[in-house]
């Protein structure tokens, strides 16, 4: 029997519209099943509309701070009060474009849990780090920043998303074996500290997932679903990816 439920998450990044909320909520309400959790991460202004349409929703980031004079930032408690359930922390675009360090990401992870949001901790290596054999080193440091701040138990109410930066938006998906190896590394690393927690931890793969490659990726032992970018903007593709997750866990 499966010990982890599959999850398919769609990150719209800085895309989307009220029309897309309508299309995607219709599509998701059709594929909904007890076998998978389907969650969308729209831009902030679309969060309420998506929640009202019955779709499980998260935000793409939150502030690490409590409410105050932080122009342009969004408080986690407000996100929670609106009815969102999840938040992405440490997406590679936040790390590279907005200079979010491992320690800032750990602060955001902590703030999310303080208000009852489930953080999805995004980790992954760049192309040059991968070429230089540093994948495990980089991913371990990204996870350790959270463990050092909050203890391993904090990972219990979270999800990890492994997204090799070289595979994001490039069409260059990691092979199922490549992705499985890193997912296994992550699970084994956490299992060394808490075996039960590691076995129950949902670990998603992200990076050019589409309806053609999702089934093989999701069939890997330690891949529990996907964090989908581009293909989460197309109702047909995203529905097909959700369907492919149903049979794999
Ligand atoms: O958050 C999603 C990832 O960045 C993957 O994006 P992608 O599916 O467009 O490669």
Residue 229 marked as a ligand binder: yes
Ligand 1 binding pocket includes 209 (Cβ within 6 Å): yes
CA–CA distances in Å: residue 210 to residues 226, 236, 239:
10, 11, 10
CA–CA distances in Å: residue 236 to residues 64, 186, 192, 215:
35, 31, 40, 15
Least confident of 52-56, 161-165, 168-172: 168-172
pLDDT, average across residues 193-216: 97
Q: How far apart are CA 114 and CA 79, in angstroms?
A: 12
Q: How far does residue 1's CA lie from ligand 1's centre (Å)?
A: 30
Q: How far does residue 223's CA lie from ligand 1's centre (Å)?
A: 16
Examine residue 197 and state whether it is found in any structural domain, yes or no: yes
Examine residue 116 and state whether it is found in any structural domain, yes or no: yes
For ligand 1, what atom is nearest to the CA of residue 167? Answer: 10
Q: Active-site residue numbers? A: 91, 163
Examine residue 118 and state whether it is found in any structural domain, yes or no: yes
What φ, ψ does residue 119 adopt, rounded to 5°?
-80, 140
For a substitution probing ligand 1, which of 159, 174, 209 has the most ligand atoms within 8 Å of its CB? 209
> Which residue's CA is minimally distant from atom 7 of ligand 1?
229
Q: Domain count for the chain, please give it.
A: 1
The domain that contains 90 carries what CATH number? Answer: 3.20.20.70
Q: How far does residue 118's CA lie from ligand 1's centre (Å)?
A: 19
pLDDT at position 70 over 90: yes
pLDDT, average across residues 178-197: 98
Ligand 1 binding pocket includes 208 (Cβ within 6 Å): yes
Quickly state the pLDDT bin for 1 (edges 50, 70, 90).
very low
Ligand 1 binding pocket includes 207 (Cβ within 6 Å): yes
CB 157 within 8 A of CB 116: no
Residue 12 marked as a ligand binder: yes
Residue 169 marked as a ligand binder: yes
Domain extent at residue 124: 6-246
Ligand 1 binding pocket includes 163 (Cβ within 6 Å): yes
Q: How far does residue 165's CA lie from ligand 1's centre (Å)?
A: 9
Quickly state the pLDDT bin for 176 (edges 50, 70, 90).
very high
pTM confidence score: 0.97
Q: For residue 197, what pLDDT is reported?
A: 97
For ligand 1, what atom is nearest to the CA of residue 13? Answer: 1
Q: 218-249 pLDDT, tens per residue?
A: 999 999 999 999 999 999 999 999 999 987 66
> 2 or 153, which is more confident?
153
Quickly state the pLDDT bin for 171 (edges 50, 70, 90).
confident
Q: How far apart are CA 85 and CA 111, in angstroms?
A: 13
Q: For residue 15, what pLDDT is reported?
A: 98
Q: For residue 249, what pLDDT is reported?
A: 61
Examine residue 1 and state whether it is found in any structural domain, yes or no: no
Q: 2-18 pLDDT, tens per residue?
A: 579 899 999 999 999 99
Q: For residue 2, what pLDDT is reported?
A: 52
């Amino acid at each position: 029997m499966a010990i982890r439920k599959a999850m398919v998450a769609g990150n719209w990044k800085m895309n989307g519209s009220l029309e897309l909320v309508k299309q995607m909520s219709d599509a998701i309400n059709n594929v909904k099943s007890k076998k998978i959790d389907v969650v969308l991460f729209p831009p902030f202004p679309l969060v309420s509309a998506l929640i009202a349409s019955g779709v499980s929703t998260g935000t793409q980031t939150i502030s690490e701070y409590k409410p105050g004079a932080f122009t342009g930032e969004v408080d986690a408690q407000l996100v929670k009060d609106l009815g969102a359930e999840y938040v992405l922390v440490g997406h590679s675009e936040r790390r590279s474009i907005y200079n979010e360090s491992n320690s800032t990401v750990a602060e955001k992870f902590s703030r999310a849990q303080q208000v009852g949001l489930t953080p999805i901790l995004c980790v992954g290596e760049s192309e040059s780090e991968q070429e230089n054999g540093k994948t495990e080193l980089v991913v371990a440091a990204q996870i350790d920043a959270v463990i050092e701040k909050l203890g391993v138990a904090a990972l219990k109410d979270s999800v990890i998303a492994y997204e090799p930066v070289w595979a994001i938006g490039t069409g260059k998906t990691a092979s199922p074996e490549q992705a499985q190896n890193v997912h296994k590394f992550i699970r084994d690393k956490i299992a060394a500290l808490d075996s039960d927690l590691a076995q129950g931890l949902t670990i998603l793969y992200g990076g050019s997932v589409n309806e053609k490659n999702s089934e093989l990726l999701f069939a890997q032992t330690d891949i529990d679903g996907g964090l989908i970018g581009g293909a989460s903007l197309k109702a047909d593709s995203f529905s097909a990816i959700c369907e492919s997750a149903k049979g794999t866990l």
